[in-house]
Structure 1
Amino acid sequence: MMKGFLLSFRSEFYKTRKTLGFWSAILLPLLITLLAFAIFYTKSEKFVMMQPIMLWIQFTMISLGMMGSLLLPMYTIFVAYSVNNVEHKADTWKTLFSLPISRWSVYAAKFLYAVFLIFLCLALFTVLTIGFGNLLSLLKPELKFNNYHMELQLMQVYFKLFLSALGILSIQFLLSLLWKDFLKPMGVGFVATIVGVIAASKNWEYSYAFPYSHPMVALSSMIHKQKGPAKDLVIDVFTKDVFVSLGISAVVFVIGYFIVQKRSVK
């Protein structure tokens, strides 16, 4: 079974390596962090008086502000669709499931490849944010990025965002698996994302239970409450919204497998 899974996972890479879904995982973090770098480089005089910790926060929030509201949910929806669209477009579902590889291996490999693309995107956000921040300290010494180290906190923040996206991914993966056309899964995802953003922005007390709110809720709940003055940021990764996201992801993943196992996927 493991051999079949690895073959299927590798096959997903070869099938998608030239698609927009794959390259978006690389270009999205590159372009957004480059934009943040350009803002700080060209407007450095506005940030000179900031403390190093506040410099990092301001610099990081340019990327996080974009990803935590609409971009991460919409990118997750697009990834879920693009992974399955390869088979829809070529009409190869029947061929794929007729191979001497278990349906579990094929299904799990597709889902985990989508998970991998989300992880790759957010890992690159982490690496590029750290890299561009340190580059600014060399090119603009008056910006004292090198006087504070935020690597651990950035890894925790983006890891939390990654976990918060898994609930959305599992739902959209199943919808895009069952619906061949573009509009249905993307339309449902877009409407749900708008509802989720509104619920989170209005501080609805149950927004943690709605998966499409999770990326935005994850950011608002990330700062660990500390007593007394704090010199460092302490990130609270495993908040209730993250646990709900993981729970939804696991449940929908299993449900999706049984649906795929029982029905003929055209």
Structure 2
Amino acid sequence: MFTKILQAECIKLKRKWLRFLLFLGPAGVIGLTLVDYSVRYEYLTQQNPNVWEGLLHELNITLPIAFLLGGTILASNVAHIEYHRSSWKQLLSLPVSRLSVYTAKFVVVMFMLLIASAVLLIGIIGLGWWLGFGLPPSWKTLFVYTFYPFFSAIPFVAIQIWLSMLFKNQSRSLALGIVMSVAMSGMRELPSWFFWQWPMLVFSDYRNTYMITGVIIGVFLYAAGALHFIKKDVAYMLWQLCKIEWFKLFKTKAWTYLFVSPILIAAILFVGDQAMPNGRMKWLMADALIANVHGLLFYPLIGGLVTSFICRYEHEAGGWKQLLSLPVTRTSVYGAKLITSAAFMGILQVLVFVVLLGVGMLKGYPNAIPLKMIAGNMLGGWVAVLPILAFMLAVSMALSSFGASLTVNVILTLPNLFVANSERFGPWYPWTQPMYGMLGVTGKASWGLMLTTQNFLAVVISSFLLFGAAGLLYFQRKHI
């Protein structure tokens, strides 16, 4: 059955212009590089004695952008066919599973991108011959550099397919994909765990890691998108529950904690401004100060507070029985509470980011603001707090006492003061990860903490999956 669905997807795409994109994209990359060499041939060949390595460097300017744009267009078109003809009901009324339909569209997009990579390989060999470079000295290197964008861009393509299947108006998914594709070419200073920029990092020492991690994260995002497509009605229920949770949260005093860290940070930066060095280091030291005050203590503590407030309504006056007597699933309830708490913590990070920029402008920090670095660090801190939210949500659901869940969070957060500087325990303790994320983890040791991107991703992803799965399993079996 899956084979026939795959054949049907290919037939539908044959009637569109997309098959020409398989050759148009590689031709555009080769053509732009040829024009570049036609104008600056002597300069480019003198810059690097290894002419083939220099050629690959020049191709890397346009290749990642073209690849991401191609993935965006393909992902949008495989979903647009059904939305344009209003044929989703007809398709899903057939004896086919939603998983097969989603998987077929994913496989078609990835296969077309793989063909485009193969066409590009032939084009690069031809370009090198045309420029008089002869055959490549290392075929293995050429294969790696040509197919690297394919493997490292799988997470990006998986997200684009997910969004394209989600939105009827394809301009939304197209706009996001195009903006991210173009923006990444000028944002190579972002933390290296930001997988949107991985296709640009072909010359990194961690190239193989990005390829392998790209495949793993891509499979995970494919599974998440497929699950969402299968449970699309449940997803709508989840969205409604999120709105309800958000309304309940802001009826409590939890919203006041959005301003605790920003106000404290503003006060510290104003008072401690004189002790900071001048120049660009002023921004870096301010960012490090935020990580050590906000990321080390306040951010994890506020995360525990938010999850306690989110479960407080249900623990009072038999709220759990009232909620679960409605036509909702326990998985949706758990997911809505986790998403709401994550959104709350994201807003807090945005406020801290705005406060840092505002204080910097008022105090006359250098005009050259490392905006990409600071934004990436704030995003890293938010990602790193997700495991803490998953753990504390499970604790808050288990303990009816508001004070008891807060006590657990305080007990787990206070060791940060001692563990954070430990090379042995610090990089592996989940409650220290928000601080490390805000310090900006890179491919090398960061701020003398011996923390690498691989370590950071391993701890955050594994602990989030562990805590999230354990919390959901507990809530599914919890006797109300």
**Band of TM-score, shorter chain:** 0.7 to 0.9
Structure 2 counterpart of 1:258: 227
Show CA shifts across 1:228-249 (max 9, x none).
xxxxxxxx6422x334322321
CA distance in 1 between partners of 2:78 and 2:15 (Å) = 12
Call closer, same or farther: CA 1:90–1:125 in 2, change over 3 Å. Answer: same
CA distance in 1 between partners of 2:146 and 2:35 (Å) = 21
User: Do 1:164 and 1:245's aligned partners in 2 also have CA atoms closer than 8 Å?
Assistant: yes
The residue correspondences of 1:1-266 to structure 2 (distance < 5 A) are: 4-37=1-34, 39-40=36-37, 54-68=50-64, 70-137=65-132, 145-146=133-134, 148-193=136-181, 196-199=184-187, 201-202=188-189, 204=190, 206-208=191-193, 210-216=194-200, 218-221=201-204, 224=205, 237-239=207-209, 241-263=210-232
CA distance in 2 between partners of 1:39 and 1:219 (Å) = 20
CA distance in 2 between partners of 1:253 and 1:207 (Å) = 22
User: Do 1:9 and 1:109's aligned partners in 2 also have CA atoms closer than 8 Å?
Assistant: yes
Note the C-alpha offset of 1:149. 2.2
CA distance in 2 between partners of 1:46 and 1:197 (Å) = 23
CA distance in 2 between partners of 1:198 and 1:207 (Å) = 14
Look at both structures and tell me which one has the larger radius of gyration over its CA atoms: 2
Note the C-alpha offset of 1:77. 1.5
User: Do 1:156 and 1:237's aligned partners in 2 also have CA atoms closer than 8 Å?
Assistant: no
**Structure 2 portions without partners, runs of 5+:** 236-480
Aligned-residue RMSD, C-alpha: 2.7
CA distance in 1 between partners of 2:74 and 2:106 (Å) = 10
Flag the structure with more relative contact order, 1 or 2, with Cα contacts below 8 A and sequence separation at least 6.
Answer: 1
Show CA shifts across 1:182-217 (max 9, x none).
221122333444554444x22x3x332x2312212x
Aligned residue for 1:101, secondary structure, equals: coil
Q: 75-84 vs 58-67, which deviates more?
A: 58-67
Q: What is the identity, as a one-letter code, of the residue corresponding to 2:173?
A: P
User: Do 1:119 and 1:162's aligned partners in 2 also have CA atoms closer than 8 Å?
Assistant: yes
Call closer, same or farther: CA 1:48–1:220 in 2, change over 3 Å. Answer: closer
CA distance in 1 between partners of 2:78 and 2:100 (Å) = 15
CA distance in 1 between partners of 2:55 and 2:197 (Å) = 24
CA distance in 2 between partners of 1:16 and 1:57 (Å) = 36
CA distance in 2 between partners of 1:149 and 1:247 (Å) = 31
Note the C-alpha offset of 1:147. 6.4
Q: What is the identity, as a one-letter code, of the residue corresponding to 2:58?
A: I
Show CA shifts across 1:129-187 (max 9, x none).
012322443xxxxxxx2265243212111222111110001111011001011221122
CA distance in 1 between partners of 2:36 and 2:9 (Å) = 37
Note the C-alpha offset of 1:39. 5.0
CA distance in 2 between partners of 1:110 and 1:220 (Å) = 31
Aligned residue for 2:153, secondary structure, equals: helix
Call closer, same or farther: CA 1:196–1:42 in 2, change over 3 Å. Answer: closer
Call closer, same or farther: CA 1:184–1:49 in 2, change over 3 Å. Answer: closer
**Structure 1 portions without partners, runs of 5+:** 138-144, 225-235
CA distance in 1 between partners of 2:122 and 2:135 (Å) = 18
Q: What is the identity, as a one-letter code, of the residue corresponding to 1:64?
A: N
CA distance in 2 between partners of 1:30 and 1:195 (Å) = 22
Q: TM-score, normalised by structure 2?
A: 0.44
Q: What is the identity, as a one-letter code, of the residue corresponding to 2:97?
A: S
User: Do 1:8 and 1:105's aligned partners in 2 also have CA atoms closer than 8 Å?
Assistant: yes
Aligned residue for 2:96, secondary structure, equals: coil
Aligned residues: 234
Q: TM-score, normalised by structure 1?
A: 0.76
User: Do 2:129 and 2:135's aligned partners in 1 also have CA atoms closer than 8 Å?
Assistant: no
CA distance in 1 between partners of 2:47 and 2:162 (Å) = 46
Note the C-alpha offset of 1:80. 1.0
User: Do 2:56 and 2:145's aligned partners in 1 also have CA atoms closer than 8 Å?
Assistant: no
